[in-house]
Amino acid sequence: MTPDTRAFLRDLVLLLGLPALALAGLIAWWKPWTYRRALIMETASETREFHARKAGVRRATWRGLPVAAPDGYVLIVEDSLLEVIERSPVDTGTGSFAGHLALLVTTPERHARFRAGADNCGLNEGRCWADSAGGHRLDCHLAAGTPEPPLWWTPLTTCEAAAAGVTIAVNAPAPQAHLLWSTVAGALADVPEMPMQLTPQSGRLSARLFSNPQVGLPLTLFFDLDLPVEPFAFEGERQATSIRLEFIRLPVRDWRQLPGQTFRFPRNPAPGYIDGSVYLGTAHLPVDATEIRFGQVEGDRVPVVIELLVDFVDGGRPELGRLPLTWRTTVTFDATALDQVFRAAREQGAEVPA
């Protein structure tokens, strides 16, 4: 080998070898096979998860629930939800579906979505079931790809813990799911079960005209619902009470237009809310009614389905949480009395909600 050949080979090794060594060093430092925050076009969910993984929070108290993440997971804690995500997901980008858990406040809207999903329970066996965690009853069903805002990922299973006022969303294969459910059980273990069962009796539907010039309310036609509760024991005493829903605005020109219709309402204090309440012992508890569905009239009766949220927290019993209810019952009415109210509304020029 001539000196020129040796010099050429040396230069070739330097020319090709140094970049290769630099590339190897960059790969070893970058570790592209692990999760890393995106440099451009980063989504809000990526930002949240990046900061959560960097912070490494594994224990927190969320809305009074003590939550501990299992090994390999961290917590994202916000006011309305808590997420449990993997500390080091295998794939790049936004993470993997190998293990996601969320605890969410059971709002009336979320409860309505859950009930709508439960309407499909009869499609196949095993789609819906009852479970337990931390001593609490859970009503569960397969989410079947239904989104659960504000989560960016889609739950495979959704459950409600009614006594705790919590909705649980999970997307994980069996090994990871077992770990995540242990987190749920630990969080709910210190939350007492609801110490009573609120079951509706047959109620009463009525209407009236009402005005309040001091607050600028003109003469308006309102409906009221009185919904007695089956007597129950609470703290050693027998309770006989009713849920009272007042100032209900139903946009009909005749009460005979009610059957077959569904009406939705905002929660207090948004305009158009229903003024609802119930007495429990000496406590006056607010009740939100977010939906009323009327069936078909049979004589002086009409079946109704009412979505309710009993707020023990604002009623001075925070340990009992907020209880969502789906009540199916029948209400009676006096057709003659309703006709008289509607006739008076027309004669006096009262407003009928549109």
Between CA 207 and CA 255 the distance in angstroms is: 9
In angstroms, how far is CA 150 from the centroid of its own chain?
A: 10
Please work out, in degrees rounded to the nearest 5, the angle formed at the alpha carbon of residue 167 by the alpha carbons of 166 and 170.
Answer: 135
CA-to-CA distance for 353 and 350, rounded, in angstroms? 10
- Could you tell me the residue ranges of all domains in the chain? 44-188, 203-347
Total-model pTM? 0.54
pLDDT in tens, the chain (354 residues): 676 676 666 666 666 666 767 777 676 666 555 545 554 556 788 888 889 999 999 999 887 788 999 999 999 999 889 999 998 876 544 444 568 999 998 877 788 788 787 777 777 778 888 888 887 778 898 886 788 889 988 899 999 887 677 899 999 887 888 889 999 988 888 665 666 678 899 999 999 999 999 989 999 999 999 999 998 877 778 889 999 999 999 999 999 999 999 999 998 888 899 999 999 878 889 999 999 999 999 999 999 999 998 888 777 777 677 788 889 999 999 999 999 999 999 999 998 876
What are the angstrom distances between the C-alpha of 37 and each of 25, 82, 292?
19, 21, 47
